[in-house]
Chains A and B, each alone.
Chain A
Amino acid sequence: MTLTATRPATRAAATARPRRTGRRWPLVALLAVLSVLTVSPFLAMFVVALSPAGEPTLPTRWPSALTFDNIAHVLSTSGFLQWTLNSLVYSAVSVVIILLTASMAGYAFAKKRFPGRDAMLWTFLATMMVPFQATLIPTYVLVSDLGGVDTFWGLIVPTLANSQAVFLMRQFILGLPDELFEAAKVDGASELRVYWTIVVPLTRPILATLGVFVFLWHWNDFLWPLVIGQSDATRTLTVGLTILRTEELQLSLLMASAAVSVLPCLLVFFLLQRYLVNSIAMTGLK
C-alpha cells in the first residue's frame, strides 16, 4: 500500500527538476534580450565612433571598416585633452580628500566622545535631505565672492562636504572592536598613529568602495562644473561634451568624444563590478 502510494510521488519529484530548469529557458532568453537591448546604445556609440569619417554609418548601414581615426582626431584636439585632464584632477583630488576627511570624521564619530558629537552627527544627517540644486545659487554666490569662479579650488572644494561618505565610514568603524584602539593607546601610540596604522588599514575595503563611488560621482558630475567652469581651463569632460553637441560636429567625432569620456567608467566597471554591486546591495550607496 505504502509503496504504491509513494512511488508516483517520487517519480513526479524526480521528473519535476529537469522540467523546472527546462521551463527557465524562455526566462533566460528574455533576460538575454533585455541585457543586449540595455547595452545596445553603447554598442551603437562605439560602432559610429569607429566608422570611417564621411562615410554613411548606422542607422542606414554598417560601416565598411572600423578605424581609430576619429578617436585619434578627438584626442589630438587641445580642448578635449584639457577637459579630460580637468575631469581627472576633479575626480582624483576629490577622492583623496574625501577618503581622508570622511574616514577621520567617521572614526571620531564612531569611537570618540566629544561635546556636540550627536548634534553634529544629526546635522550631517539632516543635510542629506537638502538637495544640492536647492543650494546651487547661494553656493555659487559664496564661491564667486571668494574669487573661486573658473578655478580648480572653486570647482573641487564645495563638493567635498559629503555626508554619505562620513556616514558610511562611521557605520563601518562602529563595527570594529574598541579593544584594538585601547590596546594601541596603552602601548603609547599617538592619536594620528592609531588613525594611520589601525583605522586606515582596517577600513581598506570600505575605503576602496567609497573611492570608486566618489570617482564616478565626480567624473559624471555636471551641474556644478557647468556653472563654475567658465573657460576651457577648468571645464570638465561632461561640460565639454555638451559644448561639442551644440557645435556642428560630425556625428562620428561626437560619438568618438563620448566613447573616450566613458572609458574610465567602463574600466572601473570591468575591474570593480563586484565591489560596486555588493556595496549597493549592502549599504544602499547611490
Chain B
Amino acid sequence: MRRLRDPVTGLLFVLPMLVLFLVFRIFPTLGAAGMSFTNWNIGGEWSFVGTANYARMLQDDTFWTSLRVTLVYVAVYVPLTVLISLGTALLLNSVVFLRGLFRGMLFLPYVTSFVLAGVIWRWIYEFNGLLNGLLAKADVGPVAFLEQSALVLPALAVVSAWKGFGYSMLILLAGLKAIPGSYLEAARVDGAGPWQRLRAITLPLLRPALFFVMIIETISAFQVFDTIYVMTGGGPARASYTLIYALYDKGFRGWEFGYAATFGMVLFAIILVVSLIQRRFLGRENT
C-alpha cells in the first residue's frame, strides 16, 4: 500500500515547482525559439516568416556592432576580474592579520546591485565626479571616461569587476585552502622561492577552480545589461551597445518582439557553447 502511495506523494511535492517551471521556464524557452521565426509585434499579431529575422539580422549593422561590443567587453572583463580575484585570493590566503575584516571589505560590493554600482560609478566617472576630482589634484584630465568609444568598455568592465569579483575571490580562496600545506612546505625546504612555488605548485593545483571562475565570469559578462542601462544607454555612438542591450532596445523600444527574440537565440547559443565547453573540461578533470 505504501509503495503505491509513494509515486503520488512524490509528484504532489514536486507539483508546485513543476508547474512554475513548465509555465515560466520551459514554455518561454520553446516560445523564444518559435518567436524568432515570426514577426510578432506589440499588438500580439503575428505570422510565420521563416528565417527572415535571421536573414535580416545578418544584414543588420546594429547586430554586428552588438556582437563586436559584447566580445570586446568579455575580452576585457574576464581577464580583469579573474586577475583581481586571483590576486586578492592569494593575498588573503597568505595573510592572517585581520583576514576576516579584509575578506569582508573585498566581498562587500558583491551583495549590492549592478544598478547601485552604476549610479555610484557614473558619478565617479563624471567630468566633475570623484575620479576627475582626484586626477585634477595631480593636474591630469578631466578624462571623459564614458563619452569616448575607446574608454567606455574598459570603464564599464571596471565597474562590473568591482561589483562582482568578490564571488570569484571566494571560490579561488576555497581552492587555495584545499591545497595541502605539505606540498608547499616540501617545495620550500627544497629551496623553491615564493614565485616558483606559485608557478609550480599553487597555480597548477588551482586550475579546476580557475577554470570554473573563468567560465562563470564569461557567462555573466555575456549577460551584461544593468550597468549599461544606467551608465551609458548603449552609447556613445553604440560603443557600449551589447547583445542584451540590443535585445531590450529592439523589443521594448522598437516593439519588434519577433526580431528581438532572434537576438535572444544568439545569446542562448553562445551561453550553450560556453556551458558545453565547461562540461567537457570538467568531465576531463574528474577522470
Contacts and interface: CB of A to CB of B under 8 A. Distances in A.
Nearest to A165: B17
A241 B116 contact: yes
Interface of A: 24, 27-28, 30-32, 34-36, 38-39, 41-42, 44-45, 48, 58-60, 100-102, 104-105, 107-109, 112-115, 117, 120, 123-124, 127, 129-131, 133-142, 145, 157-158, 160-161, 163, 166, 185, 191, 195, 216, 219-223, 226-227, 238, 241-242, 245, 251, 254-255, 258, 261-262, 265-266, 268-269, 273, 276-277, 280-282, 284, 286
A30 B91 contact: yes
A258 B116 contact: yes
Nearest to A258: B119
A161 B21 contact: yes
Contacts of A139: 24, 28
Given A28-B98, A39-B108, A137-B264, A105 B24 contact: no
A60 B133 contact: yes
B17 A101 contact: yes
Nearest to B114: A222
A269 B110 CA distance: 10
Contacts, number: 272
Contacts of B198: none
B13 A104 contact: yes
A58 B126 CA distance: 12
Given A38-B106, A191-B9, A265-B112, A120 B94 contact: no
Q: Which 3 A-B pairs have the closest CB atoms?
A: A59-B133, A112-B10, A114-B10
B21 A265 contact: no
Range, interface on chain B: 35 or more
Interface in B103-132: 103-109, 111-124, 128-132
A207 to B, nearest CB: 15
Contact of B26 (A127, A158, A238): A127
A75 to B, nearest CB: 17
